[in-house]
Amino acid sequence: MEPAENDAGTGVFSWLKLSWDDYLTGFFTIFPVLLTLAALNVPIYWLVREYNSYLPALIYLLLVVTPFTTGSNLVYIRLARGEKTSFAALFSAFPVYPQALAVSAWLGFITLAGTLALVIPGIVIYTTYCFSEYSVVDRRTPIRESFSLSSRITPGYRDSLFLIVALTTAIDIFTPNPFGFTGKMSAPELAFNLEPWVIAGFCLKTLVFLPWLHMTMARAYITLLPRAALPAAVQADD
């Protein structure tokens, strides 16, 4: 067990506090990672405008951006553990590219399916299996074991995880972006909003609030990870 796991409390407020310290300590490590992830998203807008369709952008997002996003989880995990890490950790999903891609795609699919059904099933599904994208780069677990491990460590803490996910989603959705799409799904048009307050809000979201919340999820992961070795009856009683 890592030292960070020994002294870390469980619960959303403890995770938020500890992860803020992690964020400040590791900012200069995280910063180039954030810039790279932002740059990787730029071609999405070009693809939509060029082909007048979301499909090429979705393919690019899945095949190119997703492995980097999954790899960034390892950066946050190592910082939360107090381990040395570097920009190279951003590429950590590529040695397990098929597994990382399958885990992210399947997690997204089952979450979307559950959300479209009744919303609540989507929430339960995501908070149960959200750490599959962490274990696949942290422990190099196979696809099935990634989901199994996540389902073993999240019982009893899904409400806390939901609060983090809800806060992340709210900040991402309700903070205006300087660029986006308007019009019909069948004919999207690129639009810009370059007002200073929009740009400032976008920078705060991208460089402060979302990384902090991603760090919070990493903190939750390393805190709950020892539960993977507990008997199922003990997990159910928590």
Q: Is residue 46 in some structural domain?
A: yes
Q: Is residue 237 in some structural domain?
A: no
Q: Is residue 2 in some structural domain?
A: no
Per-residue CA distances from 98 to 102, 105, 135, 164, 200 (Å): 6, 10, 14, 28, 37
Q: Which tokens is 86 given?
A: 């570097």
Q: Is residue 223 in some structural domain?
A: yes
Task: Identify the residue whose tokens are 């696809």.
Answer: 143
Q: Is residue 64 in some structural domain?
A: yes
Q: Is residue 217 in some structural domain?
A: yes
Q: Which domain holds residue 58?
A: 7-180+188-232
Q: Is residue 156 in some structural domain?
A: yes
Provide the domain count of the chain.
Answer: 1
In this prediction, residue 2 carries a pLDDT of 39
Per the CB < 8 A criterion, the answer to whether 149 and 209 are in contact is no
Reading the chain (238 residues) residue by residue, the pLDDT tens digits are 333 343 346 789 999 999 999 999 999 999 999 999 999 999 999 999 899 889 999 999 999 999 999 999 999 999 999 999 999 999 999 999 999 999 999 999 999 998 887 778 889 999 999 999 999 999 999 999 999 999 999 999 999 999 999 999 999 999 999 988 887 877 888 888 899 999 999 999 999 999 999 999 999 999 999 988 755 544 544 4
In this prediction, residue 231 carries a pLDDT of 54
Q: Is residue 238 in some structural domain?
A: no
